[in-house]
């Protein structure tokens, strides 16, 4: 497994890829594979240190302390029942408008340009998908997607912090791998958190997508 090679050189890209892979696993729906996924995250964290590793470790500890059914219920209540907590990044940049279709197409095109097909069972702008792509396929293109959507990620982080969710630590770890938010980005994130995403102009047919979209859960 490429990501498990010891990062002795302090290479930033390798460290960030480890963080992205761990975050992708932690943000996945906690089904029967959760214990194995947490073990994998622990293995990944053995190879990095610093604030991001500590933050990811806090989410791991919180999930290990929960009963499987409680973890699954909390996940659904956190991410599927609250629009502010959505992990679909274009929801915050385009809302339910026709622009959202174009923005999701941009994600899919980035994946194809890197030689992989977008997942069939999930939207291409779904944060765990973007993180997995950045970690295992094309770290440069993946970092660009994450950086371009820093504002939605910050909105999500704030919403999870308000909810006192253990997943907030994982989003904070992802933020550690990105450039610091500018004052303009911070103000935009605050406005979005207060006002919500863009809406379609009067007279136009909106791009309709349930938020959050229905997803097939693993057994």
Q: 60: which 2 tokens?
A: 């791991």
Please check whether residue 196 is in contact with residue 158, taking contact to mean a CB–CB distance below 8 angstroms.
no
Q: Residue 118: phi, psi to the nearest 5?
A: -60, 150
What pLDDT shows up at residue 112?
Answer: 97
**Domains identified in the chain and CATH numbers:** 1-195 (1.10.3480)
| Residue 126 bridge partners (DSSP) | 88
E-only strand ranges, 76-143? none
How does DSSP classify residue 83? G
Interval 172-190: pLDDT, tens: 999 999 987 666 656 765 6
What pLDDT shows up at residue 184?
Answer: 67
Mean residue pLDDT across the chain: 83
Helix (H, G, I), strand (E, B) or coil at 63: helix
Checking if the pLDDT of 101 tops 60, the result is yes
Q: 10: which 2 tokens?
A: 């302090």
Q: What sign for the dihedral angle of Cα 85, 86, 90, 91?
A: negative
Name the pLDDT band for 12 (thresholds 50, 70, 90): confident
The CA distance from 24 to 182, in Å, is 25
The CA distance from 24 to 131, in Å, is 6
| Residue 88 bridge partners (DSSP) | 126
Interval 115-164: pLDDT, tens: 999 998 999 999 999 999 999 999 999 999 999 899 889 889 999 999 99
What pLDDT shows up at residue 141?
Answer: 97
- Please classify residue 184 by burial: count the beta carbons closer than 10 Å to its beta carbon, then call 0-12 exposed, 13-18 middle and 19+ buried: exposed
- Please classify residue 171 by burial: count the beta carbons closer than 10 Å to its beta carbon, then call 0-12 exposed, 13-18 middle and 19+ buried: buried
What pLDDT shows up at residue 36?
Answer: 95
Q: What percent of the chain has pLDDT over 70?
A: 75
Has this prediction a pTM greater than 0.85? Answer: no
């Amino acid at each position: 497994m490429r990501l498990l090679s010891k990062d002795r050189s302090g290479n930033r890209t390798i460290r960030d890829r480890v963080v992205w892979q761990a975050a992708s696993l932690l943000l996945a729906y906690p089904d029967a594979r959760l214990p194995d996924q947490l073990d994998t995250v622990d293995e990944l964290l053995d190879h990095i240190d610093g604030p991001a590793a500590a933050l990811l470790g806090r989410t791991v500890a919180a999930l290990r302390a929960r009963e499987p059914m409680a973890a699954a219920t909390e996940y659904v209540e956190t991410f599927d029942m609250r629009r502010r907590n959505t992990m679909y990044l274009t929801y915050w940049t385009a809302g339910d408008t026709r622009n959202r279709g174009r923005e999701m197409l941009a994600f899919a095109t980035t994946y194809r340009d890197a030689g992989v097909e977008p997942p069939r069972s999930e939207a291409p702008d779904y944060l765990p998908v973007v993180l997995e792509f950045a970690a295992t396929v094309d770290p440069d293109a993946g970092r660009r997607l994450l950086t371009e959507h820093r504002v939605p990620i910050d909105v999500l982080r704030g919403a999870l912090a308000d909810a006192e969710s253990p997943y907030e630590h994982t989003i904070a770890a992802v933020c550690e791998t990105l450039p610091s938010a500018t004052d303009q980005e911070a103000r935009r994130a605050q406005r979005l958190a207060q006002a919500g995403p863009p809406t379609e102009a009067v007279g136009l047919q909106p791009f309709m997508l349930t938020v959050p979209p229905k997803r097939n859960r693993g057994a």
